[in-house]
Amino acid sequence: MTLQATTYLIVGLSFALYIGIAIWARAGSTKEFYVAGGSVHPVLNGMATGADWMSAASFISMAGLISNMGYGGSLFLMGWTGGYVLLAMLLAPYLRKFGKFTVPQFFGTRYYSKAASGTAVACLLMASTTYIIGQMTGVGVAFSRFLGVSSSTGIYIGMAIVFMYAVFGGMKGITYTQVAQYCVLILAYTVPAIFISLHLTGNPIPQLGLGSDLVNSNVALLHKLDLIVQDLGFGKYTTSVPGSTLNMFVYTVSLMIGTAGLPHVIVRFFTVPKVKDARSSAGWALVFIAILYTTAPAVAAMAKMNLLKTVNPTIMAENSDLFAPDAQLVHADRPAWMSRWEVTGLLKFEDKNGDGRIQYYNDKSKNEAFQAKAAAAGWKGSELTVNADIIVLANPEIALLPNWVIALVAAGGLAAALSTAAGLLLAISSAISHDLLKEMFMPDLSEKAELLAGKIAMAFAIVVAGYLGLNPPGFAAGTVALAFGLAASSIFPALMMGIFSKTMNKQGAIAGMLAGIGVTMFYVFAHKGIFFVKGTEFLGVIGGANSFFGITPEAFGAIGACFNFAVAFAVKNMTPAVPQDIANMVEQVRIPRGAKAVDGAH
């Protein structure tokens, strides 16, 4: 069977499974639509959380970023994993005990204000909408490469599939679909990794293969990779950090607290029966997430090795001369996988010196001796551009694995993108139908009408998400980190203060959220050229690129969070104190026993 036919078969079967589950798990009440009836088993909820958590960024992009950045890419591993631990330990059990459906509902009750709930809805919509752009774009990339259709057609198909199981099933349908999607994506990620680890190191466990010697060699994989990338003018793979150490630290913190503040994952802990189950499902989710996250560094390093071996066929030989005229691959003889990915535009070759061979090296290296060797060899700049997003998807093809493995990876990439997209869409839908319509504008709305409103809001959100995937705005295209920055600077601090500060009042919380998200958006959008004054980019006003101690826009969410905390406590000290019943309620939430919703009356 051809690769195309195999891919259609496996992806088609996975889609049929999702739709079948959606039909079986239709939501019949608002509680089933918002929190799956609060009756999901902790182990299943852990799997669903893992699928919800591991988006296209985790499945498709993370290993590619680590592959390109080396040690510096570990900030994504530390940030996203650390964020989950923060959420599981500091937020989820307390929010579950609070007993509300949504994050804005928590804000409205805890901060005794519809304005606080409305502010939370606005922050949630900005963060979730920005995040979903990356998911829909990932769907388009996977479809265009593996199913032979355009990226636009792929997004339309993805919209239709999500519509089937999200609109009709709500959280109930999404939950059980995400369990299936987790199984698909984790198999798709680990099976190729096992094959490749076995081929390169003889060890079938990728996590151990990463630290093992290469087959028929006494040289460790990482040591050999260090030597190769340095010979090509790049920084040492195992130690190099792009940018400053301060920026890496702040970026990691921003990803951590942004991840802990993303509402589509927080709501997963409302789907279990008891507070104890929330803690249990958090632990199970960490196990399920760890399977992929501990595999990612091995996938990154091995993919890098296989790519360099492809471009420089003699590179594995001892004392190989990378500058020799015949040491590089002739473009006309390139393997089929390179031809297939060149069609997508995510892998590009430009023959700058006209020799027909592919020179792939760091032409921006500051090593003068290396640059002199490159010039003497007739090299006129690196000729191969490899988008980080293709590393995982192309990895099985690079390693010449069977067609069914390549097709499985395609199904896994789509499962990762669609599972997170569904979770985000539900968060957006519930914010509109429950937190805006029911809680603020139409309090007498019946359950049946609210359920209908939720489904309409979901359908509308899918259309908007699809449009943004087809026409991504310049400030958000390819910048998933922006969503984390927005959540980090607005939602996370208010959640923390709402749970752990009995004295934080509504004025402080609202002012903090507005200040945090405001300063973050200003810094990010100024760098992206969104603000203009008389035709001049606002970038000049803030003192140039990365002007705040060298911190990049993607990392600025942590600084925004600091502004949030500072403004919140300053305003709190200048405004009326929290009512006593609210202070009592916060005290009850922090008692680690029972599952009954609290009201502050006792």
DSSP 578-594: PPHHHHHHHHHHTS-S-
pLDDT for 505: 94
Residues above pLDDT 90, as percent of the chain:
19
- Report the first-to-last Cα separation within the chain, whole angstroms: 68
Helices (H) and strands (E) in the chain, counts: 25, 4
Query: According to the 3-state scheme, what is the secondary structure of 436-496?
Result: HHHHHHCCCCCHHHHHHHHHHHHHHHHHHHHHHHHCCCCCCCCCHHHHHHHHHHHHHHHHH
Whether the Cβ atoms of residue 87 and residue 265 lie closer than 8 Å to each other:
yes
Find where tokens 């959100």 sit.
461
Both 282 and 379 in one domain: the answer is no
Domain co-membership, 231 together with 373: no
- Predicted model pTM: 0.81
User: Above 60 in pLDDT, residue 70?
Assistant: yes
Query: How many angstroms separate the CA atoms of 510 and 320, rounded?
Result: 62
- The verdict on 152 and 288 lying in the same domain is yes
Look at residues 362, 386, 410 and tell me which one is the last residue of a structural domain: 386
Instruction: Read off the pLDDT band of 492 (50, 70, 90).
Output: very high
SS3 at position 556: coil
Tally of CB atoms within 10 A around 322 = 19
Instruction: Write down the residue that tokens 């008692």 correspond to.
Output: 591
CA distance 595 to 462: 34
pLDDT > 60? residue 474:
no
> What's the domain range around 559?
3-305+398-589
Question: Would you say residue 85 has pLDDT above 50?
Answer: yes
Q: What is the mean pLDDT of residues 207-217?
A: 90
CATH number, domain containing residue 30 = 1.20.1730.10
Are 247 and 109 members of one domain? yes
Of 197, 193, 244, 239, which Cα lies nearest the Cα of 221? 197
Residue given tokens 């997170």 in the structure block: 420
508 part of a folded domain: yes
Pairing, β 347-349 against β 536-537 = unpaired
Q: Does residue 470 sit in the same domain as residue 532?
A: yes
Domain count, the chain: 2
> When comparing pLDDT for 165 and 497, which is higher?
497
Q: Judge whether 405 and 396 are in contact, CB under 8 Å.
A: yes
pLDDT of residue 235: 87
> Is the model's pLDDT at 136 over the cut of 80?
no
| DSSP structure class, residue 166 | I
Distances from the Cα of 204 to the Cαs of 199, 220, 260, 467, in angstroms?
8, 16, 33, 42
Q: What is the DSSP letter of 553?
A: G
Rounded to whole angstroms, how far apart are CA atoms 522 and 486?
A: 11
Judge whether residue 307 has pLDDT over 80: yes
Half-sphere exposure (Cβ direction) of 421: Cα atoms closer than 13 Å: 36
Do 322 and 437 belong together in one domain?
Answer: no
Higher pLDDT, 372 or 244: 372
Residue whose C-alpha is closest to residue 266's, from 431, 156, 405? 431
pLDDT at 559: 93
| 292 and 318 inside one domain | no
Q: In this structure, how many other beta carbons lie within 10 angstroms of the beta carbon of residue 369?
A: 8
